[in-house]
Structure 1
Amino acid sequence: MYPFVRIDDDSARHWLTEQWGISSRAALVDRLDDLSRTGYRARAQRLTGVSPLAWDAALYVDISRRGFACGLLDEGDTWTALKNIVPSVVRTYASWHEYADHYLLGRQVWQDTLRGTPDADFPAPQATADAHLRSLLDPANRTSPWNQAPWTAISSPDRPRGTRE
């Protein structure tokens, strides 16, 4: 959920409304459900024969975090939502590298859906996304969270404040 540390972040609410049409808890939960079941990977499967869960999982996490930031989800519900996507990701990928490859594929399919729309120039170029992921995967990048945490760490997520295992 980081870097959000407080509820009622207006920028998170604005982003959810503008980018996703999400202005209620019900709409947020519906979108998370769609991303967990099919998301953009269904289109990618039809186009490429590959179902890149990583892109949908990244969107799922971002929407969950922003839902928490603007108060549509409380902290416990957000952690529960995040825990719901983890098993699928863990079953699908064995490394950050595999996850990154599928993330880029899913992003490309998503970006292609924007062609001919007013949002066609919205996302950062694919080369920018490629550079970010190369940086995350670069073994010399000691500040990369992907180098600081082994892939298996996603199977043991943080917990809400005040809870114990």
Structure 2
Amino acid sequence: MNGYTAALQILIALAFLSIPLVRSRYGGRAQAAVEAELARQGVRTTVMAENGMRVDAGGHETWAPVGIATALLVPAAFTLAGSPVAETLSWIIQPLVVLVNCVILYSNLTAVPSVTAAFAKSGDAELQRIDVRSMLAAAETGFPRWVMPYLQNLRHVVVFAGSIAVLAVLIAG
């Protein structure tokens, strides 16, 4: 392990931190756009909040990426400190980061059907009436154009390519 792997892990951590940072900055606009779309659809604008759903930086949209970033910074710090435990931690954490990012990518690609299915199972008639595709499109308009798809795709590239590079260094060991 070397400073190169630590730099990659720090870069990947920053990629994950971009999620709550962007949602914190622009999530209010996205939430307002969702509420306007719900009103347009004749759905109670508070239905999302009543069911614990939000598009800003609350809940898992904050704790998950911050947790992943923290997990990545631990082996990076050990690497920079010259500790041999960095390699073991990297072997554990880096594959998990790849798997988690695969889940995130899948979630992004299947957002409409998965949210529609979740709303259908909710038992809340208001949620079940929502045109999910239009609601999610409205949420996207709350974010600057550079967020989706550009920042989103860049984040995936950094996470996947950086993780592959870290694993390649570990294998070359």
Question: Which TM-score band applies after superposition, normalised by the shorter structure?
Answer: 0.3 to 0.5
Whose relative contact order is higher, 1 or 2, with alpha carbons under 8 Å and at least 6 apart? Answer: 2
Task: Name the larger-Rg structure.
Answer: 2
Scaled by the length of structure 1, what TM-score is found?
0.33
Q: Which has the higher helix share?
A: 2
Scaled by the length of structure 2, what TM-score is found?
0.31
